[in-house]
Homo-oligomer: A and B are copies of this chain.
Amino acid sequence: MSKPLKLGVAGLGTVGAGVLNLLRQNGDVIAARAGRPIEVVAVSARDRTRDRGVDVTGLAWHEDAVALAADPNVEVVVELIGGSEGPARRLVEAALAAGKPVVTANKALLATHGAALAQLSEAKATPLAYEAAVAGGIPAIKALREGLAGNRISRVAGILNGTCNYILTEMRVKGLPFDVVLKTAQELGYAEADPAFDIDGVDAAHKLAILAALAFGHQVDLKALHIEGIRNVSALDIALAGELGYRIKLLGIASQDEAGVTARVHPCMVPEASPIASVDGVFNAVLAEGDAVGRVVLQGRGAGAGPTASAVVADLVDIARGRTAPVWGAASATLATAPGLPMERHRGAYYLRLMVLDQPGVIADVTGALRDAKISLESMLQRGRAPGEAVPVVLVTHECEEAQMQSALARIAALPSVVEPPAMIRIEEL
């Protein structure tokens, strides 16, 4: 067996400790698959005294993470600090500049600085691997970059944020409102004290930007993404979706056709028979459609110490074996710059749920607004009667363009008999 591959690990939070533990616990099988042992020789974290559930005795300790890149004993840098700027970015840049391969779980960094980092990686012929950045332990990056390399990918989509999927699942199963479930999720550690990054869709958007760049061979373009989170999803809409045969999921979806690339993160209604409709709780799923392969769906745990460490170690085994790939699957010079299409150009079917006063003429006003926007209805559902009070009305449309829908929605929202802002959820046939 060859000599060990020596790592410097920056960040000893849940994931960092998980990586150290996994490398020790499965050292024998990892060495067999890597062709050589993989050993941590140096670490960096903010507080040296904190108990992390992992023994760091005998490892070099750097106060400054960036020093790992200069440590002559470190051959590969594992960046698990997180964040698109600061020490994470400086460490990754310094390591690549020094010709040291980098493994990272940092989706924000990749989504924000992916183009520049890919160029640096190529200029230095030094790999930058990030399987752990998307969908935790699911080998989605490898599947897209290598496993489907023969395909033109038309669509990539997924349940990319476990916090949102957990909240939506709990809301459905227990019939509870968003705020109540979010609070429980925070108590259980499934959601952060400041949950905005997850529940407003930003985390899913970072991951989708990475998947889209790999799938379509484009530079990441985070600014072209349409992003909506799950704050406005109500328990009522989840229940009504169930009656219509749908589940509500926060999806990231990127698709490409002749006109360009559409990339969006928002709550979706997916048919219950869809392979991703039943991916519940903290599980993630990634779906890809290729011209040769058809549809491939991968599912598994999207977060946590074990799954994320699994992905980090997979990248390390690749590096130990000399298995490398360009950051975005192809050399930067060959990447296209397809135009990002605005959300107004999205086409699809829509679910609308209105709270209307139960009085004559209301339905005529609402359907008239849709007719004027040239939107045709597939079905309408009015439940219960309460003369003079507000009752829910559900409308499901045929496919139309987002711009049409927005124009109709503006008129509907302004009707005096519509007493709450309309709920609109896009329907996806995945």
Contacts and interface: CB of A to CB of B under 8 A. Distances in A.
Interface stretch (A45-53, A62-70, A235-243, A308-316): A308-316
A323 B146 contact: yes
Contact of A137 (B138, B292, B307): B292
A299 B279 CA distance: 13
A279 B276 CA distance: 12
A340 interface: no
Given A33-B330, A323-B325, A294 B307 contact: yes
A310 B151 contact: yes
Interface in A210-240: 217
A151 to B, nearest CB: 6
Q: Name A's interface SS.
A: mixed
A352 interface: no
Interface string A154-191: 00000000000000000000000000000000000000
Contact of A22 (B25, B150, B300, B329): B150
A147 B139 contact: yes
A331 B32 contact: yes
B310 A293 contact: yes
Interface size class of A (residues with CB under 8 A): 35 or more
A26 B291 contact: yes
Given A143-B143, A307-B292, A26 B299 contact: no
A35 interface: yes
B307 A300 contact: no
Contacts of A146: 139, 142, 314, 317-318, 323
Contact of A142 (B18, B143, B273, B326): B143
Interface of A: 18, 22-23, 25-26, 29-30, 32-35, 131, 137-139, 142-143, 145-152, 217, 273, 275, 278-279, 290-301, 306-307, 309-314, 316-318, 321-326, 329-331, 334
23 contacts: A22-B292, A25-B291, A30-B150, A32-B217, A32-B329, A32-B334, A33-B329, A33-B330, A139-B148, A142-B142, A142-B146, A143-B143, A148-B314, A149-B313, A149-B317, A150-B309, A150-B312, A150-B317, A292-B307, A294-B300, A296-B299, A323-B324, A323-B325
